[in-house]
Amino acid sequence: MATLSVYLYIPNIVGYIIVLLNCIAFSVCFSNKTLFSLLYFFSFCCDAVDGWCARKFNQDCETSTTVYCCSTTLFFFFRYIYTREVSTACLLVILSQIYRPSLVFLSLLALDFASHWLQMYRIIASHKDVKDSTSWLFRLYYGNRMFMGYCCVSCEVLYIILLLIAKNQTENLMNVVVKSLMQISPLSLLLALSIFGWSIKQIINVIQMKTAADVCVLYDIEKQHKKP
């Protein structure tokens, strides 16, 4: 019964919904781009809902300025691995098959995985708060939910837009982006805002990767010094 109760934690149920939505979305990503975009973005929004549910129903350990500490390993998987990594990774892989050079999206995928996985190990190795970071941008990102939300949403919106506006399977990325920005329309404004937020997020990823790597190295050095 105890095992069943954990499976039925509300944040975990939200996680199941996210997985289901993404499975349906990616199954129609080429045949129905509009449906894909709606399902994918809704699943992304659910990523914020599970954290709120965890705090609301006391199914979360604690809240810090760095991350939400997950009360269950299953919740940890949904929040930090599936919703933030796997779903975005799948979309980046699809875009790499549509646009040239495909290395752009594969590089973004590598950066995203490296920064978030190092951040995960940083959390395990040390409870050092992000307020101690020397980067004002890093502190602003993790200290202001609105700013963080804007950057995260911008990335997902940008990738969705790129999927929607692609007409062929071998589009030139720069040509498509420049052409879309030159058109005076709500879409071009949304694209510009998304690119700005996306750019900040990539800078944050680099800072996060370097900061997390430094903390992990210091943690290993401290362990070596503590050995008899």
Mean pLDDT of 2-15: 66
Strands (E), the chain: 60-63, 68-70, 99-100, 171-172
Query: Which of 221 and 58 is assigned the larger pLDDT?
Result: 221
Query: Which of 212 and 49 is assigned the larger pLDDT?
Result: 212
The pLDDT value recorded for residue 65 is 33
Q: pTM, whole model, 2 decimals?
A: 0.82
CA–CA gap between residue 37 and residue 34 (Å, rounded): 5
The pLDDT value recorded for residue 155 is 95
Which residue, among 187, 137, 182, has the nearest Cα to 157 in the 3D structure? 187
Residues 6+ apart with CB under 8 A from 32: none
Give the three-class secondary structure for 185.
coil
How sure is the predictor about 66, in pLDDT bands with cuts at 50, 70 and 90? very low
Is pLDDT at 70 greater than 50 in this prediction? no
The pLDDT value recorded for residue 56 is 65
The pLDDT tens digits for 113-159 are 888 788 777 766 665 555 556 788 988 998 898 999 999 999 999 99
How sure is the predictor about 106, in pLDDT bands with cuts at 50, 70 and 90? very high
Mean pLDDT of 75-95: 75
Is pLDDT at 42 greater than 80 in this prediction? yes
Q: 116, 79 in Cβ contact below 8 A?
A: no
The pLDDT tens digits for 174-189 are 999 999 999 989 999 9
The pLDDT value recorded for residue 55 is 65
Cα 141–145–146 angle (5° rounding)?
95
